[in-house]
């Protein structure tokens, strides 16, 4: 009897494995909704490496770039052209949710895609070149208070976007009208950082993970990270805005969504892979190497989180007069 049960269990395991292998999509693809080098690129490449190294994808996953509207072009393209595509996942961030809250993705809202997985948390960061005169956030704020037009901020979004919102929150906390800031919008974090290193803008508002490599290279100085407390590890020397007297925190979720008509079978296949990936210690190390911090949500849990975030962002956007 026991032998028969073992054979049944083994057969069941083989059938499950066989089903998973059969369900793997052909030519898996991750869309990064911006040009190379920014947070969306980082998110796709983290999944690309993790799924490959963990043996969860037999076929290599390619990363493609679809810039435009800070995610709007990709969002609309997935819904209109890849609604049922089982092979495509698309990166999103808290910035995507902020734009959705303001209606910047056209006629579509947060209910028009399937929210797949949140795989890590980044934090907002305010950075300058290593040779900049600003040594801390107070130095920067003092300069802005004296003459708001004297400092040029660069960020990977338009006014109302996530990076702009980070600077606006700090300006408001310092008693400076955010509308008076000199602000240059770029398509993504990679372009913004390049512009600052080239001297075209003086300050970058971005995700921490986007600028961390340049910090290690000694090319930039991070004036403040927008976390509640100092971060661990190699970021432990970077001060928070809160400890400098500015009560600002901006966590940045990074994850993926799929088209609205993707079948439950295909969606659950991806969900299973990400559930497995997020429980893996090797992936935790890989995520840490990318300067991201733990966050693990998939399926319905992520959907509920997204809905709440969008509701919260609508209230924040209304405070700044961005929505009626």
pLDDT, one tens digit per residue, over 199-237 is: 999 999 998 988 988 998 999 999 999 999 999 988 899
pLDDT, one tens digit per residue, over 151-162 is: 999 987 778 889
Domains of the chain: 29-121+252-319 (3.40.190.150), 123-250 (3.40.190.10)
pLDDT, one tens digit per residue, over 268-277 is: 999 999 999 9
Supply the pLDDT for residue 323: 75
What band does 185 get if pLDDT is binned at 50, 70 and 90?
A: confident
In the structure encoding, which two tokens stand for residue 194, read together?
């390049």
Supply the pLDDT for residue 234: 84
pLDDT at 187 over 80: no
Mean pLDDT of all residues in 67-90: 95
């Amino acid at each position: 009897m026991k032998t028969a049960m073992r054979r049944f269990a083994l057969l069941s395991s083989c059938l499950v494995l066989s089903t998973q292998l059969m369900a793997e999509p052909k030519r898996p693809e991750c869309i990064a909704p911006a040009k190379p080098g920014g947070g969306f690129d980082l998110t796709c490449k983290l999944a690309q490496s993790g799924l490959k190294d963990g043996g969860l994808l037999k076929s290599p996953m390619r990363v493609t770039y679809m810039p435009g509207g800070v995610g709007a072009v990709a969002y609309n393209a997935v819904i209109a052209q890849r609604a049922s595509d089982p092979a495509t996942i698309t990166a999103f961030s808290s910035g995507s949710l902020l734009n959705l809250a303001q209606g910047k993705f056209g006629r579509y809202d947060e209910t028009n895609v399937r929210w797949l997985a949140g795989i890590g948390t980044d934090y907002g960061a305010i950075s300058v070149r290593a040779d900049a005169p600003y040594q801390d956030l107070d130095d920067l704020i003092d300069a802005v208070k004296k003459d708001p037009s004297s400092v040029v901020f660069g960020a990977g979004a338009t006014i109302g976007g996530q990076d702009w919102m980070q600077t606006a929150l700090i300006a408001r906390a310092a008693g400076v009208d955010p509308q008076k800031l000199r602000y240059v919008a770029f398509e993504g974090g990679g372009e913004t950082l390049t512009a600052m290193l080239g001297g075209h803008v003086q300050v970058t508002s971005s995700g921490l993970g986007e600028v961390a490599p340049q910090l290690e290279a000694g090319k930039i100085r991070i004036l403040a990270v927008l976390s509640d407390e100092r971060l661990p590890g190699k970021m432990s020397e970077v001060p928070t805005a809160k400890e400098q007297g500015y009560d600002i925190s901006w966590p940045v979720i990074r994850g993926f969504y799929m088209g609205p008509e993707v079948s439950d079978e295909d969606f659950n296949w991806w969900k299973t892979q990400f559930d497995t990936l997020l429980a893996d210690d090797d992936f935790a190390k890989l995520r840490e190497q990318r300067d991201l911090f733990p966050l693990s949500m998939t399926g319905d849990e992520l959907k509920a989180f997204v809905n709440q975030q969008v509701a919260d962002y609508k209230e924040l956007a209304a405070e700044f007069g961005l929505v009626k």
